């Protein structure tokens, strides 16, 4: 289990994520309309938890982002941002194979979630193009400030022997 | 029940099907917007040279999570908001710029519990050639 990082959920983060999906649903941005529903306010779309990658200092695919700053730690502790991790791997050989979410509570603006990851199952099989494919599960738990589970995300990453498209 | 369901158990009997168009002619712009929204800046999704010359793909392609997110929209537009209990997919084929996607849901079973029930749904999202790109399942709580 990693020591975890914070994930501060706000309306702007939800708006950016939902708008990239082409969403028009007011529940993701219109506080007045959302308040009038039984949910009582804006919530995040079902796959939004993946965007905790923004707050993961050790996320492998963060581009030029340098904040939040990474703490010095053993290389083995680097993991995914709740999906398609592969810290230090040649990213041309990493695929996102599967993704599952279990929902306990809707994700809402103002939530300060703590995100922890732990390894799950691992297995291998022979692929057609990329040689041996090594599968590994990463289980990411999102908990609120009381420690209650909000979302559990399970990601299956695949590392291939060579670049798959080649 | 904490969600805001749009339909009832009677509208989601086993065998019920629901289909929705997710995207027509996917643009590179949308893929870049998704990179910024999700934080996933793997160059394979936005850097044509990296995607073709280093990774050997015909072009950049969409994040699997973009296709999953679009598929999730089919579920929430149909079932309502905050009603999903689980949602999982396997990424079976890359989605490239120019692709058009359709998602189809089929109700496989319903477990009734008092005033509500847990609906089990099978999901397939396919491209314009009818090839599945994402296959998966979801569960949702709906009222009687």
Domains of chain B, by residue range, sit at 4-26+61-143
Give me the residue label for tokens 């502790």. A77
Is cis: bond before A68, omega within 30 of 0?
yes
CA nearest to A24, candidates B26, B83, B100, B77:
B77
Q: What number of other Cβ atoms are within 10 A of residue A134's Cβ? A: 15
CA–CA separation, B45 and B56 (whole Å): 13
pLDDT of residue A82: 43
* Local confidence band at A129 (pLDDT 50, 70, 90 cut-offs): confident
Number of domains, chain A: 1
Reported as a pLDDT band with limits 50, 70 and 90, residue A84 is: very low
Say what the pTM is. 0.93
Residue B98 vs residue A93, higher pLDDT:
B98
**Closest partner CB to A20 (pick from B4, B34, B82):** B34
Residues of A in contact with B65 (CB under 8 A): 47, 50, 83-84, 96, 99
Stretch A52-79: mean pLDDT: 83
CATH fold of the domain at B4-26+61-143: Thiol Ester Dehydrase; Chain A (3.10.129)
Yes or no, beta carbons of A106 and B82 under 8 Å apart:
yes
Cβ atoms of A29 and A14 closer than 8 Å: yes
Q: Is residue A166 part of a domain?
A: no
Chain A partners within 8 Å of B20 (Cβ): none
The percentage of chain B sitting over the pLDDT mark of 70, rounded to a whole number, equals 99
* A103–B86 C-beta distance less than 8 A: yes
Interchain proximity B30–A83, CB inside 8 Å: no
Average pLDDT on B28-52 reads: 97
Cβ-nearest to A84 among B40, B88, B89: B40
Residue in A43, A52, A65 nearest the CB of B81: A43
- Work out the pLDDT band at A161, boundaries 50, 70, 90: confident
> Taking CA atoms, what residue in B is nearest to A129?
B56
CATH of the domain at A94: 3.10.129.10
Mind telling me how many Å the CA of A111 is from chain B's nearest CA?
16
d(CA B4, CA B140): 11
The confidence band for A2, taking pLDDT boundaries of 50, 70 and 90, is: low
- Return the structure tokens found at A57: 């200092």
What's residue A1's pLDDT? 58
Whether A105 maps to a domain, the answer reads: yes
Q: Which residues of B45-67 are buried (b: 16+ CB within 10 A; e: fewer)?
A: bbeeebbeebbebeebbbbbbbb
Q: Does the pLDDT value for residue B58 go beyond 50?
A: yes
Complex confidence, ipTM: 0.97
**Nearest-CA residue of chain A relative to B57?**
A165
pLDDT, mean over chain A: 89
Residue A15 lies inside a defined structural domain of this protein:
yes
Tell me what the mean pLDDT of segment B110-130 comes to. 97
Q: What is the pLDDT, as a whole number, of residue A143?
A: 98
Say yes or no for a CB contact (<8 Å) between A84 and B64: yes
Helices (H), chain B: 28-38, 48-49, 64-79
Considering only CA atoms, which of A123, A119, A159 is closest in space to residue A139? A119
Joined tokens for residue B67? 């296709």
Q: Which two tokens stand for residue B129?
A: 């050639």
Residues B122-131: what's their mean pLDDT?
Answer: 98
Residue pLDDT, tens place only, B74-83: 999 999 999 9
Query: What's the pLDDT score for residue A162?
Result: 78
Query: What average pLDDT does the structure give for chain B?
Result: 97
Q: Which domain does A148 fall in, by range?
A: 5-160
Q: Across residues A109-113, what is the average pLDDT?
A: 98
């Amino acid at each position: 289990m990693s020591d975890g990082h914070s994930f501060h959920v706000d309306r702007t983060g939800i708006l950016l994520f939902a708008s990239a999906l082409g969403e028009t649903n007011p529940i993701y941005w219109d506080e007045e309309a959302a308040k009038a529903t039984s949910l009582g306010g804006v919530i995040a779309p079902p796959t939004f938890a993946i965007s905790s990658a923004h707050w993961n200092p050790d996320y492998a695919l963060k581009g030029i982002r340098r904040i939040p700053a990474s703490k010095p730690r053993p290389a083995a502790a680097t993991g995914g941002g709740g999906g398609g991790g592969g810290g230090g791997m040649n990213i041309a050989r990493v695929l996102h194979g599967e993704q599952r979410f279990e929902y306990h509570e809707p994700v809402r603006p103002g939530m300060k979630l703590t995100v922890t990851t732990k390894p799950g199952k691992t297995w291998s099989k022979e692929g057609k193009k990329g040689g041996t494919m090594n599968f590994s599960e990463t289980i990411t738990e999102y908990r609120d400030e009381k420690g209650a589970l909000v979302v559990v995300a399970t990601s299956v990453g695949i590392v291939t022997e060579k670049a798959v498209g080649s | 029940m904490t969600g805001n369901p749009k339909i009832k158990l009677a509208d989601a009997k086993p065998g019920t099907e629901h289909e929705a168009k997710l995207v027509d002619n996917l643009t590179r712009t949308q893929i870049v917007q998704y990179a910024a929204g999700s934080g996933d800046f793997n160059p394979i999704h936005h850097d044509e040279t990296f995607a073709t010359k280093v990774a050997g793909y015909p072009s950049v392609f969409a994040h699997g999570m973009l296709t999953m997110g679009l598929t999730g929209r089919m579920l929430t537009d149909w079932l309502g908001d905050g009603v999903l209990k689980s949602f999982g997919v396997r990424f079976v084929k890359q989605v490239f710029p120019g692709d058009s996607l359709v998602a189809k849901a089929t109700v496989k079973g319903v477990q009734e519990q008092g005033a509500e029930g847990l609906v089990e749904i099978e999901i397939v999202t396919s491209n314009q050639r009818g090839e599945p790109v994402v296959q998966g399942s979801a569960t949702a709580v709906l009222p009687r």
